Amino acid sequence: MPALNNATKIALLTFFSNLYFYNHIGTLYFQSRGLNLLQVSSVTSIIVASVFLAEVPTGVLADRIGRKGSVIMALLLQTLGEVLFLFAESYAAFVMIAIIAGVGFAFASGATEALVYDSLPPGTDREAGMKRAMGNVGSAYYLAFFTAPLVGGLLVTELTLSKYLLVIALTACSVLVALLIALTLDEPPGDAAQSREHPLTILRAGLGDLIRRPVLRHILLLTVFTSTFHGVLVSLYQPYFVEAGLSPFLIGAGLSAGGLLAAVAQRYIYRLPQLVGNRAGLVMAVLLPGIGYILLGLATGMLPVFLLFVLTHAALDLKKPLLSAYQNQHLDSQTRATALSLINMLASIYVAVMSLVYGALADHSLSLTFVVMGAVMIVAARLLRVDKLY
C-alpha cells in the first residue's frame, strides 16, 4: 500500500479535527454550566479575537519553526481545549479555553495551506495540483460539517449533562486522531533552513511581498472584499426558514444537505477551470455565492427557500481552492505562511465589521440582508476586475 502524501494527510486531519459532535447543543451545554446567553456570545467573540491577535505571530512562527511543527502545535492546542472543555464549570474556565482554541486555530491558518503547496512535487503543474489538493481539503471540511450533527443528533437523545459530555469526549478523541495524523506529516523541503531567519525578518519579507507585488495586492483585495460570510448565513438562515414556514427538521436537514453538496463541489472544483478556462472558472466561483444570496433573498415559498439555501451554502467556498493555487504561485516559500496569515487577518477584520452591519440590517429584514450581501460581493468582484486576475 503506497504511503499517503501530505495533501491527503491534511485532508484527513481536516476531517477529524472538524468533527464537532456537540455543535448543535453547544449553547445548551454552556447554559447547563451556568452561563447566560451574553456570556455564551462573548466566548465566541473571544475565540475570534484570539485568532485575530495570534494570526500574524503564528504565521511568522510557522515560517520559522516549520509548517509541520505549526500544524502539530495547532492540533495539540485544539486537543487540550477539547479536554478542558469536558471539565470546565465556570465562565473563567471557558474564557481560557476560548483563548487556547483561538491561538490553535491561528497556528493552523497559514501553515496548513503553505504545507500543502510546499509539499507538491517540484517540476509538476503546481497550480493544477494545488487546486485539486485544496479542493480535497475543503471537501473534507464540509464532509465533517455534514457528518458531525447527524452523529451528534443520534447520540444526544436527551438534553442531559451526561449526553453533552459524551459528544464532547468523542470530539476530543476525534481531534486527537487528527493530531496523531499530523505527527506523520513529512517536512517539506527547505523548512529546516528557514528556521535560521529572525521572526522580524520573516514578517518584513512577508509584508513586503504583499505591498510590492501588484498581483498579490489584487488577490488580497479580492479575497477580503468578496468574503462569503459563512457564519452570517448559518446564523440567519434559521429564522429565515422559520419565516418561510419550514419545520425544525428541515432547518437541520438544510444545513446537512448544504454541507454534503459543498463537500462534493469542493472535491471536483478543480475541473471547472479545465472545462471553461482559468479566468472564466474563477469568475464563476466568485460570482455564484453572490448570485445565490440575491436569489435567496428574493425567494418566496418553502421549497425555493430550502433549495436556494442549500445551493448558496454549497457555493460559498468554491473560489478558495482556485485562489489558493494562484496566490501560492506568487508567494516566496520562506515567507508563505506569514503572507497567508496577513491575508487571513485582513479578511477577518472585514468579516467582523460587516457581520455587525448585516446583523443590524437583519433585525429589520432578513430577505433584504441576503440581497445586500450578494450585491456587495458582486459589485466588489466587478470593481476589482476578477476577470483580469489571470
Q: Which is higher by pLDDT, 363 or 171?
A: 171
- Domain spans in the chain, listed from the N-terminal domain onward: 6-388
Mean of all residue pLDDT scores within the chain: 85
For residue 81 the three cell numbers come to: 481545549
For residue 297 the three cell numbers come to: 433573498
**Residue 328, helix vs strand vs coil:** helix
Q: Residues 101-118: what's their mean pLDDT?
A: 86
Over 80: is that where the pLDDT of 129 sits?
Answer: yes
Q: Residues 13-22: what's their mean pLDDT?
A: 94
pLDDT, position 290: 97
Over 50: is that where the pLDDT of 105 sits?
Answer: yes
CA 297 to centroid of chain Cα atoms = 24
Angle value at C-alpha 330, between 291 and 134, nearest 5 degrees: 55
- pLDDT tens by residue, 45-71: 788 888 888 877 887 777 677 788 889
d(C-alpha 325, C-alpha 301), whole Å: 39
**Residue 157, helix vs strand vs coil:** coil
**Residue 265, helix vs strand vs coil:** helix
Residues 6+ apart with CB under 8 A from 27: 37, 40
- pLDDT tens by residue, 194-253: 545 545 555 566 666 666 778 778 888 888 899 998 878 887 887 888 889 988 678 777
pLDDT, position 326: 79
Cα 185 to Cα 65, 122, 231, 340, distances in angstroms:
14, 18, 30, 20
pLDDT, position 193: 46
Q: Which is higher by pLDDT, 331 or 42?
A: 42
pLDDT, position 192: 47
Over 90: is that where the pLDDT of 149 sits?
Answer: no
Architecture category of domain 6-388 in CATH: Up-down Bundle (1.20)
Which element (helix H / strand E) includes 41? helix 37-65
d(C-alpha 215, C-alpha 207), whole Å: 14
Over 90: is that where the pLDDT of 374 sits?
Answer: yes
Over 50: is that where the pLDDT of 306 sits?
Answer: yes
**Residue 123, helix vs strand vs coil:** coil
d(C-alpha 138, C-alpha 202), whole Å: 28
The amino acid at residue 107 is F
Cβ proximity of 198 and 63 under 8 Å: no
